[in-house]
């Protein structure tokens, strides 16, 4: 029984550690490419506006990040799509 609880708490610690590690990595990448949090948030809002013309998306899971390798920077977007829109709304 004690082993069960150890495994349960160990997973939570590992998960928290991974989350913290990923957040730190993202902060470092943003610093290296000189992108302010405000600029990244503006980019996220613009992407959300454009993509919403064609798809219905789940905004709570929408994430935009930058990933830097040796010689390049990649824009990584996680966009949960609920459904595609059949017609473009011209009013937007």
Span 5-39, pLDDT tens digits = 555 555 555 677 877 877 776 666 666 667 777 88
Specify the pLDDT at position 83: 92
Task: Give the count of domains, the chain.
Answer: 1
Specify the pLDDT at position 80: 92
Asked whether residue 89 is assigned to any structural domain, the reply reads no
Asked whether residue 41 is assigned to any structural domain, the reply reads yes
Asked whether residue 54 is assigned to any structural domain, the reply reads yes
Q: Residue 21: enclosing H or E segment and its boundaries?
A: helix 2-32
Asked whether residue 92 is assigned to any structural domain, the reply reads no
Specify the pLDDT at position 82: 92
Tokens of 6: 């150890």
Stated pTM of the model: 0.55
Specify the pLDDT at position 50: 92
Tokens of 48: 């959300």
Asked whether residue 90 is assigned to any structural domain, the reply reads no
Specify the pLDDT at position 89: 60
Task: Residue count of the chain, please give it.
Answer: 92
Domain interval for residue 7: 2-84
Integer Cα distance of 60 and 32 in angstroms: 27
């Amino acid at each position: 029984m004690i082993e069960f609880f150890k495994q349960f708490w160990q997973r939570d610690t590992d998960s928290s550690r991974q989350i913290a590690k990923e957040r730190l990595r993202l902060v470092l990448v943003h610093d290296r490419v000189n992108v302010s949090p405000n600029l990244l948030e503006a980019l996220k809002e613009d992407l959300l506006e454009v993509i919403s013309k064609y798809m219905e998306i789940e905004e709570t899971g929408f994430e935009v990040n930058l990933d830097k390798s040796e010689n390049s920077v990649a824009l990584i977007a996680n966009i949960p799509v609920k459904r595609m829109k059949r017609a473009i709304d011209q009013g937007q």
